[in-house]
Every structure is written in C-alpha cells, then in structure tokens.
C-alpha cells in the first residue's frame, strides 16, 4: 500500500466526498495544505499563460516551475508578484532538472509546456513518478513515442491529460451540442485544421516574440528558437490537434470509432523563404535567405474512420492568410462551416440556402459556457484556456480519467509522423495503429456531458 | 485534296479573312448558306438549353437534332417554333442513328449532350467524320477511353471542344484576371469541386424532372433515368470538371504544368437511401428502399501537380446542402475563398483579416463579361452558357483549337476512373498519364486572353 502522503490524501478525500453524495464541485481546497500542488515544466509564453491562470485560482498552488531559460523564469515570477502568490521552487539547472522536480516536490499534477521534442519524454517521466500529467499539444515524431505514452499510462495507472484547448471553444462546443442532439444527422464528413500565418512567430529579432525580424534557431527568441527548425527539416502536418481534437469529440474517436488510415499531400515551399527575402530586416543578402525549408506551405491530409466518415485536415502556416481552423461538420441532415459562419439544416433552413450560425450558437450554447462565462473572460484564446485548465484541475483533483487521455494523445500525435511518411512515399495511405488495443470498441465519450464538470 | 464542299469553304474563307487582316469577329454569317451548320446529339434538358441559345444566334443553324426519346424531340421542336427557325432534320431511329446524322448532314459542328456513357464514342465518331466536336462534360470510365479521344483527335486533326461552362463563370473569370496579374502571387494550393444536392435530380416521379418522387432508372425521367445508376454501381468523383476546369486555367494544366497523381477517399453512403426512406412518395415499403448505393456521400480527392501545387477536389451530391463549387485559390500573396465570398491579399487587406470579394470582383471583372454581359443575360447557369456557346461557335467557325481541347478532356475525364481506382485500393495514389505525350511542356494557355474572343 502506498504511504499516506498529501497526494494520496486528496485522492482519498475525493472518493469519500463522492461516497457521501457530495457533488465533486463542492469540494473546496482553501487551506494551503489542501490545494492541488502543480508543477509547470516549460515557462515560455505558453507556460506563463498557464501559470498566470492557475495563480488566480484558490484551489491550486503552482509549487514549482522549471525552465532552462532564466529570462523566462524571471517573467514567470512576475505573475507570482502580481497575484501575491507564495514563490515556487525553481528548477533551472539544465534540460534534465525537471527530473529533480518530479522526484522532490510531492506534486499532485504537472503541466508540460516545453518545445515539442521534450513533451513525450517529460510526460513519460511524470507518469512514471505517479503524478497526474498535463501535456501541451503538438505533433508526434514516431509511432514508438506514441506507444510509450500509452504503455507508460497503462503500466503506471497514471493519467495523462492532453491539453487540447480548442475542444472548449465556444462555437466548437455549441456544435458538439448540436451533433449530440442529432441536428446534423449521422456524421458523414468533417474538415478541420490549423491555418494560421505563423511567419511572424517562426521568425523574430531574437528579443521580442512576434513580427520583429527574420531570425530563427539560436538567434531566435521564444518559438522562433525551436519551432522553426521543424519547418526546416520536416514535411508533414506538424500541428494536427487543434483540428482533430474537436472533430474527435463529434465522432467519438477511440470511443466507438477509430481513425483507420491517412493519406497526405504537400505543396511547394515558398512562404518562409519569401518572408525572409521581403522583410525589411531580411533581403537577399541576409544569411537566412539561403535557408531551405522542407515544410510544404500547404499540407493536406484525408483520414478515413472505421465508422466510414471522412476527415480533411489542413496545415497551412507559412503563407499570408487570416486565421481559420477550417471546421466543417457534415451529416445526413445538414452541415456547419466555420469559414462562412453558416449552418444548413434540412427542414429548418430555407431550401438550398445557408443560414447565419448566430442564432444556433446562442440556442445551443454549451451549459459549461453559460455557467463559467464570467470566469473565462480574459483567459487566453477567447476563454478556452480557462475551461481547459479548469477541467484539468478538477480532473486532477480526483485523479480522474481525463476527456483527452493517453490514447487520444497517442492517436492525435501519430497523425504527424504518419503524414510525414505518407508524403515521403508520394501520398501512400498509412494505417493508424489501434493505440487502445481494442478498448475503443466499448469506451464511452464523456467529454462535457452531464457529470463532466457540471 | 478534299472536295470543296460548304464546310471547307467556311474554313477557307476564315483563313482568307485572317490573311486580309480582318478581325475574325467581324465575319458575319448572315445568309442561310454561310451559317455554321450544327447538329445536336442528345436533346434532353441540357441539349434543349443549348438548342434554345443557338437558335437565338443569326450565325448558326441547328440543322439536325438526334435523340432516342420522341418526347424530348418534341420539346426541342417547340424552341424552333418559338424562334421561328427552319425545322431541323430529325434523327431518332435508335441509339446509333447519330451515325447517320454525322454521315448525311454536311455539318460544321456537333454538340453532344447525351448521357455520360455515350459521350466518348459519339465524340470519336464525330471527329472521325471530320466535324468540329463539342462534347458536354462528365467523368470518364477508363483511361483507354481518354486515350481514344486524344488519339482520334491527333489522327483526324479534328478539334474537340470540351464544353465546360464554369470556366466562364463571372467570379471565376475575375479571379483568373487576378491570378494573371499576380495578385495572389505564385499558386500554391487550390480547392474546387461539385457540391450540389442532386437528390431531387437523381429521383423523380417519372414525369417531371425535379423534386417529384423517388423513382429512377427505367421508372425515372430525364437524368433520373440514367444518372442515378452511376450512384448505384460506382464510387468515385463522378463529376470533376466544374471544379478542375477553372482550376486548370489558374495553373495552366497541360500548358506548362500537368496533373501528376491523385488519391481519393469516400465516405459512407446514406443520403440517397435516406431520401427514398423519408420522401412522402417513398418510405420503408417502397421497392427502392432496398436499393444499395455504392457512391459515398462525400468523395474527396487530393491532386499533386508537376509544378508542386496541391488541389483538393470535392464531390458531394447526395446530402442536403447549399450549392457550392468550393473554390479556393491560394498563392504566396493571398487567397480567394468562394464560400465566404472573401479575399485576403497581403499588403492590400487589413492584416490577418478577410475582405469581401465584392470590390475585387468589380475591379477585375473580365473584359469578356463587360463586353457580352447584355447578351449573356437570361442564358443558362447565370450567363455562363452564353459564353460557352459563343466561344464554341466562334472557335468552330475557324476550326480553331478550343481553349479546352482533347487533351484537357482526356485529363479531366481521367479523374473519375483514377479516383474510383484509388478508392477501391484504400486511397492508393494513382498517376495521371501524360495525355499530351510531352506537348504540355511548351503548350500555352490562351483561354480568355487578348485574341481569344476579344
């Protein structure tokens, strides 16, 4: 039997509460001792956003932070001053100091918001340490890595919460309500993706994060320091989860349905080179003007599910364009398209004509948004980040299986290496492994349903 | 040397006119003898539309019509009464009577508007007869058929005009102007397709063509008589040309660029069955309720070009939805999307924000539309059909190579069998034959450029 430490006590008390028919949301963590102790690995811009939101809660303590960059640590500490929070233990002694944090801090939960290539090894270590693990989104590198996540979760019994915030977007959740009320009929075809002009993120002046220059890698700052290198060496859908996460909820992926195979295609690569060439701080004589980028400006993938839906997934981050996750949710009775903000439902909409989505979004606004709207105001990414962290914290308190778990993480991450492989082989279809090893047959989708947070 | 008959005389006189530096558009065909003699094979709804428009011109004579359906012949003759045109020679003695028409009528041009499966053999016969051939659009059945079109054209020297009307759509042509003025920069990614709820076309009551019942095949009328059978037996992009035709103009397919390979995916098939089930004249006891339909409700294809653009092609004809050809034209400087009627161009548009397409459509309205707008009013499909037939007639008068020729027909038609094959093999990529046998390298795109009609 595990020694009764603070961490076990919280789990135990949660179970007791449930046994006593007290609603989980009535559990309060007011005293310092009962707060959920969270450690954050990676305190760049994304990590700081999480810390800032967590410090505003009275039920958590961000007890430890870890980063290799002292400037980012310093920026993070300013949030502690702002919210008058007890200073955290700081780990900044090189890239593996996170191991010391995991070993020493008696944490209830960890959030990992480091560059992509560290996510899996840190998540595996955190699960090995028995700590409820929140892992930021990215794309994977290998199927083996995806299996590591699954196998470590199963061996240790520790949960992994894959921190996909777009599942909580207000329109995405309203449409989820509509899907569940059968407004669109049986699902047939879905589209999604990440279409975001990241040129001003992939390059900067080495000092300020956005739109400030044409440097990257060692001379870059924030994401330009590391993210851009993926555009140099790789060609695939590097960032699939903001699209596939919400779609997975609509069609119950890993819960009665499964991704079967994918085929991907990649266009010419021009956008990043042109950006360097045409930027006032760049030009043809700038050293980066000779840099080759492997990443096609537009990577498109098609996925088939075992329930016979088709999915189109966009990845479009190198060209000038307005932001769009490109959602389309189409069933036997109608469809939603995010780009024209329109809905068509047979029998409700005028024949063969789009309707504005506005009234539908109001009518089917998700109960969670109605309930938490005020608390979400001001949180990152239009309030989504409040919901994400609220869900993470509430699930971590109860050590409960998260809505996006190790199997989902493995599945969604695997899109990236599978798309790279498909492209490398001239758009050959690539089968998805069944990361659930058959459990998808009878697993249930509980995300944002009665009992999940409300 | 060929005998000098009326047909040769027109060709000869055209050459003389050009030699005398008289603009081709100044050639008038006023006397009955000098009119372009056209025969129309297939006088269903589409053929009647063409006859109706042609009879309103003073430079053509629709000298012969051919159909196996006496009712359709009768409907067509009403247009002759309406426009007080000399009655045509009628060929209606079975499916091969068109051969007699081709042999006997001394035609200058033929338009083929029959059910899809007849297009190629009729076009081949027409080219063999040395008659300028207009072939309505469809999808192909086999690569061999596509090669037949190319080989017959090359052996006989007779032109085939592939009658793709959407290339003349006003917004499509304005965007062509923008592409040619480099407004979007170098082309990177394009989308298009045929998204049209055809349930009310694929089924009817056997008497009226649209939205009147759940019969098809022998009990159906008009397209329901034959088109629906393709949804029974086939699974692929059955109707690719309204999408690929305009896209081919933007990226010069078969003229410096070429379609390289395609991979396709198909969803579950529900829409047609549901339609029968839920229609007031259908229901679970209707015999057609047991009909299986192979065609996936949503077929999506991705195409790579030799110039490294990517194309996504939609086919979506069985579900309730508003009409959309789904155009997206994306380059290194910006993009157009038809569904939100929006354009974004770096440096012109507000940063990261869509602009309405309206001002751009006005500013870049194609000169052909400005010139012929009044004549196009009232012609089918928003005026496109006027431009199509005007272009066909003017090219036929001069026996000139059409903008969409035998090579384009073969290439665009081949999408259908290639997509069927890809789907049958689980989305395997399928290479496009080079139907030009290398001529694409130096062929030039002349469509709607100075000298083509204006």
Q: Are strands B342-345 and B310-316 parallel, antiparallel or unpaired?
A: unpaired
Q: Count CB neighbours of A201 within 10 A.
A: 20
Mean pLDDT along residues B142-166: 98
What are the E-state strand segments in A317-392?
328-331, 334-337, 342-345, 355-356
Q: Count CB neighbours of B128 within 10 A.
A: 15
**A197 vs B contacts (CB less than 8 Å):** 352
Measure the CA dihedral A195/A200/A206/A208, to 10°: -100
Whose CA is closest to B41, among B105, B114, B124? B114
Q: Where are the alpha helices (DSSP H) in B290-438?
A: 358-363, 367-376, 384-397, 406-424
Q: Tell me how far apart the alpha carbons of residues A327 and A249 are, in angstroms, rounded to a whole number.
A: 13
Predicted confidence at residue A382, as pLDDT, reads 80
Does position A15 have pLDDT exceeding 50, yes or no?
no
Q: Tell me how far apart the alpha carbons of residues A373 and A387 are, in angstroms, rounded to a whole number.
A: 9
Residue B171, helix vs strand vs coil = helix
- Shortest alpha-carbon distance between residue B376 and chain A (Å): 25
> Are the C-beta atoms of B298 and A308 separated by less than 8 Å?
no
Q: Tell me how far apart the alpha carbons of residues B454 and B449 are, in angstroms, rounded to a whole number.
A: 8
3-state secondary structure A391-447: HHHHHHHCCCCCCCCHHHHHHHHHHHHHHHHHHHCCCCCEECCCCCCCHHHCCCCCC
Q: Determine the residue among A210, A276, A315, A320 to mutate to test chain B binding: the one whose Cβ has the most chain B Cβ atoms within 10 Å.
A: A320
Count of alpha carbons within 13 angstroms of residue A143, beta-carbon side: 10
Predicted confidence at residue B211, as pLDDT, reads 96
Q: Are strands A334-337 and B299-305 parallel, antiparallel or unpaired?
A: unpaired
DSSP assignment letter at B253: B
Does position A26 have pLDDT exceeding 50, yes or no?
no
Q: Tell me how far apart the alpha carbons of residues B192 and B300 are, in angstroms, rounded to a whole number.
A: 10
Joined together, the tokens standing for residue A207 give 């000092």
Confidence band for A6, pLDDT divided at 50, 70 and 90: low
Q: Count CB neighbours of A278 within 10 A.
A: 15
Q: Tell me how far apart the alpha carbons of residues A134 and A110 are, in angstroms, rounded to a whole number.
A: 6
Predicted confidence at residue B13, as pLDDT, reads 41
Q: Tell me how far apart the alpha carbons of residues A309 and A259 are, in angstroms, rounded to a whole number.
A: 9
| Tokens 């990443």 found at | A295
Confidence band for B230, pLDDT divided at 50, 70 and 90: very high
Give the predicted TM-score (pTM) of the model: 0.93
* Minimal Cβ distance to B427: which of A263, A345, A346: A263
Mean pLDDT along residues B6-17: 43
| Tokens 């043809």 found at | A284
Q: Tell me how far apart the alpha carbons of residues B343 and B337 are, in angstroms, rounded to a whole number.
A: 6
> Are the C-beta atoms of B147 and B407 separated by less than 8 Å?
no
Predicted confidence at residue B177, as pLDDT, reads 98
Buried b (16+ CB within 10 A) or exposed e, B438-453: eebeebebebbeeebb
CB contact under 8 A, B322 and A352: yes
Residues B28-64: tens digit of each pLDDT = 455 667 899 999 999 999 999 999 999 999 999 999 9
Residues of chain A with pLDDT > 90, as a percent, come to 89
Does position A43 have pLDDT exceeding 90, yes or no?
yes
- Shortest alpha-carbon distance between residue B228 and chain A (Å): 18
What phi, psi does B112 have (nearest 5°)? -110, 115
Give the number of residues written for chain A.
Answer: 454
- Does B6-165 match B168-366+408-441 in CATH topology? no
- Shortest alpha-carbon distance between residue A414 and chain B (Å): 19
Mean pLDDT along residues A405-418: 98
CB contact under 8 A, B330 and A197: no
Give the number of residues written for chain B.
Answer: 454
Predicted confidence at residue B451, as pLDDT, reads 76
Predicted confidence at residue B380, as pLDDT, reads 74
Q: Tell me how far apart the alpha carbons of residues B440 and B384 are, in angstroms, rounded to a whole number.
A: 27
- Shortest alpha-carbon distance between residue B138 and chain A (Å): 23
> Are the C-beta atoms of B316 and B193 separated by less than 8 Å?
yes
Interface of B with A in 243-302 (CB under 8 A): 261, 263, 265-268, 270-271, 274, 296-298, 300, 302
Q: Cα angle at B195 between B264 and A344, to 5 degrees? A: 125
Predicted confidence at residue B16, as pLDDT, reads 37
Interface of A with B in 335-354 (CB under 8 A): 335, 337, 339-341, 344-346, 352-354
Residues 6+ apart with CB under 8 A from A151: none
**Residue A15 falls in which region: left (phi positive, over 0), alpha (psi -120 to 50) or beta:** alpha
What phi, psi does B108 have (nearest 5°)? -85, -30
Mean pLDDT along residues B148-177: 98
Segments making up each domain of chain B, as ranges: 6-165, 168-366+408-441
Question: For A6-165, CATH number?
Answer: 3.40.50.720
Residue A121, helix vs strand vs coil = helix
Q: Determine the residue among B191, B296, B332 to mutate to test chain A binding: the one whose Cβ has the most chain A Cβ atoms within 10 Å.
A: B332
Number of CB pairs, chain A paired with chain B, less than 8 A apart: 148
Whose CA is closest to A197, among A327, A297, A291, A47? A297
What ipTM score was computed for the predicted complex, to two decimals? 0.93
Predicted confidence at residue B15, as pLDDT, reads 37
Q: Please state, in angstroms and as integers, the Cα–Cα distance from residue A122 to each residue in A96, A100, A148, A313, A408, following that order.
A: 9, 12, 11, 28, 17
Kind and range of the H or E element at A316? strand A310-316
Question: For A168-366+408-441, CATH number?
Answer: 3.30.360.10
Does position A32 have pLDDT exceeding 80, yes or no?
no
DSSP assignment letter at A63: E
Residue A71, helix vs strand vs coil = helix
> Are the C-beta atoms of B211 and B320 separated by less than 8 Å?
no
């Amino acid at each position: 039997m595990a020694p009764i430490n603070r961490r076990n006590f919280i789990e135990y008390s949660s179970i007791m509460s449930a046994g006593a028919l007290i609603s989980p949301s009535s559990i309060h963590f007011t005293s310092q001792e009962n707060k959920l102790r969270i450690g954050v690995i990676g305190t760049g811009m994304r990590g700081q956003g999480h810390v800032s939101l967590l410090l505003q809660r009275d039920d958590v303590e961000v007890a430890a932070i870890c980063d290799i960059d002292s400037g980012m640590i310093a920026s993070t500490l300013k949030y502690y001053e702002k919210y008058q929070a007890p200073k955290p233990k700081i780990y900044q002694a090189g890239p593996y100091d996170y191991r010391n944090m995991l070993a020493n801090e008696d944490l209830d939960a960890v959030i990992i918001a480091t560059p992509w290539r560290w996510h899996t090894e840190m998540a595996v270590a955190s699960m090995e340490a028995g700590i409820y693990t929140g892992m930021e989104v990215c794309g994977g590198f290998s199927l083996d890595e995806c299996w590591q996540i699954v196998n470590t979760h199963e061996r240790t019994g520790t949960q992994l919460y894959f921190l996909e915030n777009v599942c909580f977007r207000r329109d995405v959740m309203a449409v989820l309500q509509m899907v569940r009320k059968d407004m669109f009929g049986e699902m047939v075809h879905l589209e999604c993706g990440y279409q975001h002009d990241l040129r001003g993120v992939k390059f900067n002046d080495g000092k300020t994060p956005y739109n400030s220059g044409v440097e990257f890698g060692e001379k870059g700052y924030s994401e330009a320091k590391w993210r851009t290198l993926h555009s140099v060496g790789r060609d695939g859908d590097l960032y699939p989860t903001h699209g596939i996460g919400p779609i997975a909820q609509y069609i119950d992926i890993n819960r009665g349905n499964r991704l079967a195979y994918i085929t991907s295609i990649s266009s010419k690569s021009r956008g990043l080179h042109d950006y360097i060439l045409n930027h006032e701080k760049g030009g043809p004589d700038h050293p980066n003007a000779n840099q080759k980028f492997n990443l096609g400006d537009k990577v498109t993938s098609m996925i088939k599910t075992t329930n016979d839906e088709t999915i189109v997934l966009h990845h479009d981050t190198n060209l000038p364009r307005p932001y769009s996750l490109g959602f389309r949710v189409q069933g036997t009775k109608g469809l939603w398209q995010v780009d024209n903000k329109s809905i068509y439902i047979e029998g409700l909409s005028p024949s063969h004509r789009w309707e504005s989505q506005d009234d539908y979004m109001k009518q089917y606004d998700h109960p969670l948004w109605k309930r938490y709207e005020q608390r979400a105001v001001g949180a990152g990414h239009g309030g989504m980040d409040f919901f994400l962290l609220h869900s993470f914290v509430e699930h971590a308190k109860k050590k409960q299986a998260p809505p996006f778990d190790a199997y989902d993480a493995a599945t969604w991450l695997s899109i990236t290496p599978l798309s790279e492989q498909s492209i490398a082989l001239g758009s050959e279809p690539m089968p998805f492994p069944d990361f659930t090893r058959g459990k998808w047959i009878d697993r249930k989708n509980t995300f944002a349903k009665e009992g999940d947070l409300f």
